[in-house]
Homo-oligomer: A and B are copies of this chain.
């Protein structure tokens, strides 16, 4: 019998924000895949270790998922990673693949998932808490209420389109701003909008910025800006 692949979101940082299902599925796996060059360096591994006491006694496999721009090379690496996992599945193994935050939102795991499903294997997604809802909770406020739309925008989105997206009604969440964060901050201030930022939410080096003008020129890849509409009293 063929095995099964589980893409598992381990949430944004706090191990207790992992779901009961994520913890149980990891603990019942034959193999736990950790994205990165070395298991110990992976943030997803460190989060899971906080919830799964026996993780280090399990069969942990590091799998490089580099963020490179060369599409042909990237495709080739994803093909190779998928084949490696399919070999485990052919042996009937239950394989968990850890990913930060949630699996359905900007997760590189999905490149593997799609290939494995295309090749006729069984693969499932186990949700995790997304970074943007976690950042909002950390700020002790909601993202959206009533009829407000919510727009999640990766900063890699073309800057030309960005101004238009920033002017949409509702709450805007800017993700993965990292190196571009100075430009994003200037666009927010120029548009007269209010913003808050959480850097490395739920991690040891977490930082909170409650005012757009405090946002620095550069920040961690795990930085997230929340722009809310002016609120009426509820």
Q: Is residue A59 contacting chain B, with contact meaning CB distance below 8 A?
A: no
Q: Is residue A46 contacting chain B, with contact meaning CB distance below 8 A?
A: no
Q: How far does the alpha carbon of A24 sit from the alpha carbon of B11 in the complex, in Å?
A: 17
- Across the interface, name the chain B residue whose C-beta is closest to A151: B151
Complex partner residue of A154 from B134, B140, B142, B147, CB under 8 angstroms: B147
- Chain B residues lying within 8 Å of A16, measured Cβ to Cβ, are 19-21, 24
Given A104-B137, A148-B154: A110 and B20 interface contact (C-beta under 8 Å): no
Oligomeric state, in number of copies? 2
- Chain B residues lying within 8 Å of A128, measured Cβ to Cβ, are 129
Q: Is residue A144 contacting chain B, with contact meaning CB distance below 8 A?
A: yes
Q: How far does the alpha carbon of A124 sit from the alpha carbon of B139 in the complex, in Å?
A: 9
Complex partner residue of A21 from B14, B102, B142, B152, CB under 8 angstroms: B14
- Across the interface, name the chain B residue whose C-beta is closest to A165: B149
Q: Is residue A146 contacting chain B, with contact meaning CB distance below 8 A?
A: yes
Q: Is residue A193 contacting chain B, with contact meaning CB distance below 8 A?
A: no
Q: Is residue A62 contacting chain B, with contact meaning CB distance below 8 A?
A: no
Complex partner residue of A169 from B114, B129, B161, CB under 8 angstroms: B161
Q: How far is the CB of A130 from chain B (nearest CB, A)?
A: 6
Q: Is residue A196 contacting chain B, with contact meaning CB distance below 8 A?
A: no
Are B133's CB and A144's CB within 8 A? no
Q: Is residue A136 contacting chain B, with contact meaning CB distance below 8 A?
A: yes
Chain A: residues with Cβ within 8 Å of the partner, total of 60
- Chain B residues lying within 8 Å of A103, measured Cβ to Cβ, are 137, 142
Q: Is residue A96 contacting chain B, with contact meaning CB distance below 8 A?
A: no
Given A16-B19, A19-B11: A107 and B140 interface contact (C-beta under 8 Å): no
- Chain B residues lying within 8 Å of A20, measured Cβ to Cβ, are 15-20, 23, 51
Are A143's CB and B104's CB within 8 A? yes
**Chain A 102-116, CB within 8 Å of chain B: the 1/0 string?**
111111001101100
The 5 closest A-B CB pairs, nearest first, are A16-B21, A125-B137, A104-B136, A150-B152, A147-B156
Interface residues in chain A, defined as those with a beta carbon under 8 Å from any beta carbon in chain B: 11, 14-21, 23-24, 51, 75, 78, 102-107, 110-111, 113-114, 117, 123-130, 133-134, 136-137, 140-154, 156-158, 161, 165, 168-169, 234
